[in-house]
Structure 1
Amino acid sequence: MKRLVIALLVLLGLLVAADYGAAAAAESAVSRQMRQQLGLADDPSVRINGFPFLTQAISGDYSSVDVTAERVSFGQLREVEVRAQLRDVQAPLSELLASGPRTLRVGNAEGTIRISANDLARLITGVDKLRIENIDDLALEQAFQDGGAASLTSINPDSAARLVGTTRVLGQEVEVAVIAVLELSGQQIQVVPRDIRIGRPGSDDPQALPPPVQTALRALFTLRIDPGTLPLEVTPTRLRARDGTLEISGFTSGLVLGAGSAGGA
C-alpha cells in the first residue's frame, strides 16, 4: 500500500511538472507572437491563467492570458508600461508550439497603458521630482476651504489627479501642488489644471499664488499628450491616476492575432 501511495505521488509530481513545462513553452510562444504583434523590442511577460494547463491545451481554449511589457515607447513617451488581458483565447497547442505561423483568436481584451511620472516630467519644462497622486472628495473639499474655487467640489475625483513637483517661482525653488482634471479626447490625454498652490498637500498653510504666477504655472502644467494607438487597437474609455501613474484603459473584442490577422506575419 505504501509503495502504491509513493508511486501515485511520483506520478502526480510528474504530471504537474509536465503541466508547468507545457504551460511555459506555450507562454514563450505567445510572448514571441505578442512581441511581433505589438512591435516591441523585447519579449513581453506572458501568463496563461488556469490550472491544469493541459486540459485547456487539449481543447485549445484558454480562459485568460495576461501580457505585460515595460519601458515601451509610444508617441512622445518612453517608459510606458503596457498590459493586456486576453479572454476566451482560441489557439491549438500544436500550432502554438510549432515553428511556423500561428494564430490566436481572442473573444475580448482589455488593454492598459501606464504613463510614469518620469515620462510626464519630460513634457513639463523646468519641473523636477514630479509625483502623480490620487485625490479624493475630502482633498477637493479641503482645497476649497483653503481658498480654492467652489468648482473644485464638483470635480469627479476618479478623473482627477494631484501633480506635485519642484520648480522655480519668483526666483526660488519651491514645491508646487496642482489639482488637475484628466480628460480623454479620442486617443489623446488632456491634463487641465484647476488649482495651483505652493506647499505640500495637506500642509497647514498652503500658499495661494499671485494671478500672473498662477497663469504661468497653469500654462506650464496644461498638457496634451498623444501616446499613439493603444495595444491591440483597444478603444480608450478611461483615464485615471493609479499607483503613481496616469493609466489609460479600454476594451475590444473579436481579435485575430498573428498569421490570420490583417497585419499578421
Structure 2
Amino acid sequence: MRRLVITFVVLVGLLVVADFGAASIFEYQVSKRARDQFELSDDPSVKVGGFSFLAQALSGEYGHVTIDAKGVPVEDTLRDLEVHIEMRGVQAPLGELVSGSLKEVKIREVEGQVKVKASDVNRALAQVENNFIKAITNVTIDPVSEQDVLTDPDDRTDAEQEAAERAAEAEIEDTTAGTRICATVDLAGDETELCAFGIISLVDGAKMTFAPNRIELTNSVLDGGALSPELDTLIKQALTFTLDPGELPFTVTPNAVTVEPGVLSVKGTATDVVLGGQ
C-alpha cells in the first residue's frame, strides 16, 4: 500500500510538471504573437484558465485565456496604458503547438479593455490650453453615479436620495459613466483642492471625453461655497478634455466606458478573431 501511494504521488507530480510545462509553451507562443500584433517592446503576460491545461490541449481548444500588457505608450500624452484581454474558445492544435509550427490562433470571442491611469489623465489636463488654471497635480479618479454628477447628495431630500440610489443600482456598463476627478491646482495664484463631477463619454471609436457638470473646490478664499457663474464656466472649460487611446486590440468594437479608482477605461468585444494570421 505504501509503494502504491508513493507511485501515485510521483505520477501526480509528473502530470503537474507536464501540465505546467505545456501551459508555459502555449503561453509563450500566444505572448509572442500578441507582442507582434500589438507592436509592443516587451512580451505581454498570458495566462490559461481551467483546471487542466493538458486536457484542454488534447481537445485543441482552451476555454479561457487572458492577456495583460502594461506600460503601453500612445503618442506623447498617454504613456502608461494597460491592455487587458479576455479570450474564450481559443483554438490551437496540440501538434502545431509542440512542434513550434503554430501559425495562427483562432479565437471565438474576445473582450478587450484599455485602461488610462490617473497619471496620464493628469498629463492630458496639464496640456489643455487655458490661462486660468495652472500647475495641475495629484489627480485622482473615482466612480460616482450619474445622478451624483447632476446633483449634490447633501442637497437632496430623502425621497430624492432614495430615487438616486435606485437609479445608481440600475446603472449598467454603457457609453457614458459618472466620475469624480480631483486635483490640486494653482487657481489665480492660490493652491486649491478641486473636484469636478462629470460624465465620461465614448465618442468617435475608442475616444473618451470628460465634461464637468458641477465643481467643488476649497482654498483660502472659498470653502465649498457657491461659485460665480463666470468662475464656474472657466473652471469647467479648463477641465474638459478628450483622451484617445487608439484602436482596441483585435479590431474589438468599443461599446462601453468604465470608471474604477484611479482608472478610466474603454471596453469592447469581437468574435471570430485570428491572432497571428495574415
TM over 0.5: yes
Q: What's the CA shift for 1:217?
A: 1.4
Cα drift, residue 179 of structure 1: 0.2
- C-alpha distance in 2 between matches for 1:146 and 1:98: 67
Q: Which residue does 1:247 correspond to in 2?
A: 265
1:176-207 CA-to-partner distances (Å, cap 9, x unmatched) read 0000111111321111110011039xxxx623
Aligned to 2:246: 228
Instruction: Verify the 8 A CA contact 1:146 1:206 in the aligned structure 2.
Output: no
In 2, are the aligned partners of 1:30 and 1:96 still within 8 Å (CA)? no
* Alignment partners' CA distance in 2, 1:41 and 1:96: 24
TM-score w.r.t. the length of structure 1 is 0.87
Q: What is the number of equivalent residue pairs in this alignment?
A: 252
Superposed displacement of residue 47, structure 1? 0.3
The Cα of 1:98 is off from its aligned counterpart by 3.6
Contact conserved, 1:29 with 1:97, CA < 8 A, in 2?
Answer: no
2:36 — aligned with what?
Answer: 36
What is the correspondence of 1:192-207 to structure 2 with a 5 Å cutoff? 192-199=211-218, 206-207=224-225
CA contact (8 A) 2:92 2:102 kept: no
**Structure 1 stretches of 5 or more lacking a match?**
none
The Cα of 1:137 is off from its aligned counterpart by: 6.7
Q: Residue type matched to 1:81 in 2?
A: E
User: Over residues 152-179 of structure 1, what are the superposed CA-to-partner deviations in whole Å (9 max), with x where a residue is unaligned?
Assistant: x699776110000011123201110000
- Report the equivalent of 2:80: 79
Aligned CA distance change for structure 1 residues 55 and 144 (closer, same or farther; 3 Å): closer
The percent identity for this pair of structures is 34
Q: For 2:96, what is the secondary structure of its paired residue?
A: helix
How many angstroms apart in 1 are the aligned matches of 2:12 and 2:153?
Answer: 63
**Counterpart Cα distance in 2 of 1:138 and 1:233:** 33
Provide the aligned C-alpha RMSD in A: 2.4
Return the TM-score normalized by structure 2.
0.83
Task: Evaluate the alpha carbon distance shift between residue 43 and residue 2 of structure 1 in structure 2; reply closer, same or farther with a 3 A threshold.
Answer: same
C-alpha contact (below 8 Å) 1:198/1:209 kept by paired residues: no
Q: Are 1:58 and 1:93, in contact at CA under 8 Å, matched by a contact in 2?
A: yes
